[in-house]
């Protein structure tokens, strides 16, 4: 699009100078000001209720009505004092965003009495009319009721003038309709199994939590440009666009200085995040132009995930104020780095130990090795499930592309830890060890922190990498709810630890000493899960071949990957660990494939609309100009001169004609493919048809449009180009 037109648009959405409401105080003065956290509970609740509620939260026990009433009263008093007029149950339906329904605190009785109405009942449970949220068939219209129920483990907070209460969302029949319910269940399963494992080493451990530190990548797009790109507005990604002459080749953006306007945006959303008690810590530019990242300090996984969704929301809102649109799509621009949400994950005890951090004693390191090896094994056995947990229409464009981990799930441990596991494999055997052998092994195990200290190799090509004191699940997409991969990972590791505990117990009961039993089981696991460990370049072709030889799966197709949600193996796993019932699993499968199909359907329609209404007419206009020009040349030049001079133009006219015909032809064929797909009776068939019959046209049509973009007069081109989208700030 001609620059002058873009300028005009920019003026239209004039960029007023934005006053950041920068509090004069230091962040520590306003941190958490909008959260009903412990200090506020202490202030607004009686000592007795405060102790009861904190105890119930810590031990995940039931909160009775009397306590709920008191908590509601305290919460209400605090919220109204902070200027809140409404309250809402805030939950995570099976979409990519959160949902809420606001009710006013104020109630007026039929006789005109005014009172503020919010009690234990309203805190604990609500029945939102959310019948249009996806349920995967769990809620038929005759039993359409869904309930939200208070999650006391995540504190209530105020956004604007509304008190938001984090809740789970379940059906009338008690089935999960959200992400939070199974996330909490998976955390409980992990707690149970991991605490038991910890008891092998330390009897004081009574609880294990999962920790999550997410790194959120995103693009910032100028609002004026965004509004001139219908594809961005409707699908969150560009469906066409030729690569900019300059993009990320120079890699000068990464960690470069942050542009002023962006800085202002970041400063403001961070202030908002701080007020909500979200410990955002790092901010920097990412690899691609206009791409950035923010990351908080890690927290307990359920809270961290609430905070991630909340931050995404805050960013969207603050972005608008700064005339930016925040893109969380995994691959908004072809050929340009996509956006991930790296999930840094670990487990921690109530005694303050990070279970994936090597200690400085042989005993703590045995515990570390136990959790490390069990996690590796869990990832190996459940690779397809983990993959299914992160695939989506958006992430499909990112994964497997040159800058993102491939579809193959593998684990990176680093040279020294790999060597350590190889060593254990060789030195432990089923024969009892001699005291000398034992001492030597213990000494070596005790040395782990030393070797890790200089373990600086960080493999960025691995989808699941150990990074010194945690695993980093890097295949997670930027736009989705991290609960999905966290549910899969927690459940897989919980089951694995459960099996481990059993095996150690069985072996011990045959007279093998406990520490030897642990070592023997670990050795067996190390051997069994060797195939999933990969230290090399995950982006390379050789790895694909090698992975196949090792029997690892490489499921690139989204509908195929999602089938794991109905594979017997995983349905059983979730049932056994009481995380999702078979019916709930199936519902999730339905929701996921349906969502994938809908995204493709929308993209297909938007692409065809733009191709036919924007691109083809523009190309014809330019072609007509060329034809006029050639006609004129014919008039003024001799036949020979005309032949020499007009040939390049004639070629161009032919080229444009060809692209126009192809675009029209392919768009029509795509429409027919869509029609055929829509007529198929089964949802699963429809999805497959969309993936294999409709989607391939996207690239074909785009190819011709992008070619036209290069030859058609820039002044006529109807859409902002990559260079304008990516380099404006």
Which residues in this chain contact Mg ion in the complex, by CB under 5 A? 215, 342
Nearer to ligand ADP, 68 or 411 (CB): 411
The stretch near ligand ADP (CB under 6 A) out of 207-215, 221-229, 262-270, 418-426 is: 207-215
CB of 533 to ligand ADP, least distance (A): 20
What does 241 bind: ligand ADP, Mg ion, none (CB cut-off 5 to 8 Å by kind)? none
CB 148 within 8 A of CB 124: no
Nearer to ligand ADP, 153 or 171 (CB): 153
What does 211 bind: Mg ion, ligand ADP, none (CB cut-off 5 to 8 Å by kind)? ligand ADP
Site string for ligand ADP, 147-186 (x = CB under 6 A): ----------------------------------------
Nearer to ligand ADP, 461 or 623 (CB): 461
3-state secondary structure of 684: helix
Please tell me whether residue 601 binds ligand ADP under the rule CB under 6 A. Answer: no
**Near ligand ADP by CB under 6 A: residue from 74, 146, 155, 213:** 213
Site string for ligand ADP, 328-357 (x = CB under 6 A): ----------------xxx-------x---
CB of 344 to Mg ion, least distance (A): 7
CB 480 within 8 A of CB 329: no
Q: What is the 3-state secondary structure (H, E, C) of 206-272?
A: CCEEEEEEEEEEEEEEEHHHHHCCHHHHHHCCCCCCCCCCCCCCCCCCCCCCCCHHHHHHHHHHHHH
DSSP string computed for 174-186: S-B-BSHHHHHHH
Q: How far is CA 459 from the centre of its chain?
A: 20
CB of 210 to ligand ADP, least distance (A): 8
Task: Look at residues 367, 309, 329 and name the one whose alpha carbon lies nearest to residue 236.
Answer: 329
The stretch near ligand ADP (CB under 6 A) out of 93-101, 209-217, 221-229, 475-483 is: 209-217
* Number of residues counted as binding ligand ADP (CB under 6 A): 15
Phi, psi torsion values for 146, nearest 5 degrees: -130, 150
CB of 346 to ligand ADP, least distance (A): 4
The separation between the first and the last C-alpha atoms of the chain, rounded to the nearest angstrom, is 17
Q: Tell me the two tokens of residue 206.
A: 């009574």
Q: What is the 3-state secondary structure (H, E, C) of 441-466?
A: HHHHHHCHHHHHHCCCCCCCCCCEEE
CB of 466 to ligand ADP, least distance (A): 11
Nearer to Mg ion, 34 or 462 (CB): 462
CB of 191 to ligand ADP, least distance (A): 16
CB of 455 to Mg ion, least distance (A): 16
Please tell me whether residue 564 binds ligand ADP under the rule CB under 6 A. Answer: no
Site string for ligand ADP, 280-319 (x = CB under 6 A): --x------------xxxx---------------------
What does 597 bind: ligand ADP, Mg ion, none (CB cut-off 5 to 8 Å by kind)? none
What does 296 bind: ligand ADP, Mg ion, none (CB cut-off 5 to 8 Å by kind)? ligand ADP
Q: Tell me the two tokens of residue 704.
A: 């011709």
Nearer to Mg ion, 215 or 231 (CB): 215
**Near ligand ADP by CB under 6 A: residue from 98, 154, 167, 211:** 211
What's the burial of 325, exposed, middle or buried (CB within 10 Å: 0-12/13-18/19+)? buried
Please tell me whether residue 469 binds ligand ADP under the rule CB under 6 A. Answer: yes
Nearer to ligand ADP, 244 or 491 (CB): 491
CA–CA dist 43, 77 (Å, integer) = 11
Cβ partners under 8 Å of residue 140, min gap 6: none
Burial 112-126 (b: 16+ CB within 10 A, else e): eeeeeebebebbbeb
E runs forming strands in 231-382:
280-285, 291-296, 299-300, 324-327, 341-349
Please tell me whether residue 215 binds ligand ADP under the rule CB under 6 A. Answer: yes
Give the CA distances from residue 301 to residues 187, 608, 690, in Å, rounded to whole numbers and listed in that order. Answer: 8, 42, 35
Task: Look at residues 406, 543, 379, 361 and name the one whose alpha carbon lies nearest to residue 471.
Answer: 379
CA–CA dist 76, 607 (Å, integer) = 49
Q: Tell me the two tokens of residue 302.
A: 């359920």
Largest CA distance in the chain: 105
Please tell me whether residue 404 binds ligand ADP under the rule CB under 6 A. Answer: no
CB of 348 to Mg ion, least distance (A): 19
CB of 304 to ligand ADP, least distance (A): 8
CB of 166 to Mg ion, least distance (A): 26
Nearer to Mg ion, 198 or 476 (CB): 476
Nearer to ligand ADP, 90 or 345 (CB): 345
**Residue nearest ligand ADP by beta-carbon distance:** 213
What does 354 bind: ligand ADP, Mg ion, none (CB cut-off 5 to 8 Å by kind)? ligand ADP
Q: Tell me the two tokens of residue 653.
A: 């006219």
Give the torsion through C-alpha atoms of 641, 642, 643, 646, to 10 deg: 120
CA–CA dist 66, 43 (Å, integer) = 19
CB of 521 to ligand ADP, least distance (A): 25
Binding site for ligand ADP (CB under 6 A): 211-213, 215, 282, 295-298, 344-346, 354, 469-470
């Amino acid at each position: 699009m001609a620059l002058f037109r873009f300028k005009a648009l920019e003026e239209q959405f004039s960029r007023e100078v934005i006053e950041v409401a920068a509090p004069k105080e230091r962040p520590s003065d306003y941190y958490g000001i909008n959260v009903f956290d412990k200090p506020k509970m202490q202030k607004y609740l009686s000592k007795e209720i405060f102790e009861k509620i904190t105890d119930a939260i810590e031990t995940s026990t039931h909160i009775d009505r009397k306590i709920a009433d008191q908590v509601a009263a305290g919460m209400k008093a605090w919220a109204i004092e902070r200027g809140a007029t409404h309250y809402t149950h805030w939950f995570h339906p099976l979409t990519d965003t959160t949902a809420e329904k606001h009710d006013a605190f104020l109630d007026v009785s039929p006789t005109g009495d005014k009172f503020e109405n919010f009690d234990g009942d309203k805190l604990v449970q609500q029945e939102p009319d959310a019948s249009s949220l996806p349920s995967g068939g769990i809620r038929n219209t005759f039993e359409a009721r869904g309930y939200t129920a208070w999650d006391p483990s995540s504190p209530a907070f105020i956004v604007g003038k509304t008190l938001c209460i984090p809740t789970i969302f379940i059906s009338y029949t008690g089935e999960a309709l959200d992400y939070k319910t199974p996330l909490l269940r998976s955390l409980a399963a992990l707690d149970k199994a991991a605490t038991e494992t910890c008891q092998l080493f330390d009897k004081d451990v009574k609880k294990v939590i999962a920790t999550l530190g997410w790194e959120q990548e995103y693009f910032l797009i100028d609002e004026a440009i965004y509004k001139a790109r219908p594809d961005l507005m409707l699908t969150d990604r560009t469906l066409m666009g030729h690569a900019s002459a300059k993009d990320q080749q120079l890699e000068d953006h990464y960690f470069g200085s942050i542009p002023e306007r962006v800085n202002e945006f970041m400063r403001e959303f961070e202030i908002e995040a701080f007020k909500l008690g979200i410990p955002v810590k790092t901010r920097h530019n990412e690899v691609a132009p206009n791409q950035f990242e923010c990351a908080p300090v890690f927290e307990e996984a359920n809270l961290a995930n609430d905070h991630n969704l909340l931050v995404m929301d805050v960013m969207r809102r603050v972005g608008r104020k700064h005339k930016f649109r925040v893109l969380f799509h995994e691959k908004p621009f072809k050929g340009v780095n996509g956006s991930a949400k790296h999930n840094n994950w670990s487990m921690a005890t109530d005694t303050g130990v990070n279970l994936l951090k090597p200690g400085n004693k042989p005993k703590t390191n045995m515990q570390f090795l136990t959790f490390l090896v069990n996690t590796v094994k869990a990832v190996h056995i459940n690779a397809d499930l983990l993959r299914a947990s992160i695939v989506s229409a958006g992430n499909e464009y990112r994964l497997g592309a040159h800058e993102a981990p491939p579809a193959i799930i593998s684990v990176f441990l680093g040279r020294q830890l790999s060597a350590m596991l190889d060593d254990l494999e060789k030195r432990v055997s089923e024969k009892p060890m001699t005291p000398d052998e034992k001492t030597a092994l213990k000494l070596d195990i005790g040395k782990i922190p030393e070797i890790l200290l200089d373990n600086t190799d960080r493999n960025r090509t691995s989808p699941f990498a150990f990074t010194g004191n945690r695993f980093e699940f890097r295949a997670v997409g930027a736009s989705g709810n991290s609960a999905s991969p966290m549910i899969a990972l927690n459940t897989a590791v919980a089951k694995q630890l459960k099996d481990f505990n059993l095996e150690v117990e069985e072996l011990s009961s045959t007279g093998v000493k406990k520490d030897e039993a642990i070592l023997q089981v670990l050795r067996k696991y190390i051997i069994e899960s060797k195939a999933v460990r990969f230290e090399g370049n995950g982006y390379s072709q050789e790895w694909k071949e090698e992975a196949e030889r090792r029997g690892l799966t490489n499921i690139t197709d989204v509908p195929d990957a999602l089938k794991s949600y109905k594979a017997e193996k995983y349905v059983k796993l979730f049932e056994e660990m009481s995380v999702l019932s078979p019916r709930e699993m199936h519902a999730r499968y339905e929701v996921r494939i349906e969502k994938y199909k809908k995204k493709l359907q929308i993209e297909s329609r938007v692409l065809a609309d733009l191709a036919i209404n924007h691109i083809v007419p523009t190309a014809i206009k330019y072609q007509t100009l060329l034809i006029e020009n050639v006609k004129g040349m014919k008039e003024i030049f001799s036949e020979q001169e005309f032949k020499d001079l007009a040939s390049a133009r004639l070629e161009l006219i032919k080229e444009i004609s060809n692209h126009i015909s192809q675009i029209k032809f392919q768009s029509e064929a795509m429409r027919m493919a869509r029609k055929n797909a829509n007529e198929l009776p089964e949802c699963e068939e429809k999805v497959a048809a969309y993936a294999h019959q409709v989607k391939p046209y996207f690239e074909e049509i785009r190819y011709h449009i992008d070619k036209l973009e290069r030859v058609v007069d820039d002044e006529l081109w109807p859409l902002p180009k990559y260079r304008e989208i990516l380099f404006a700030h």
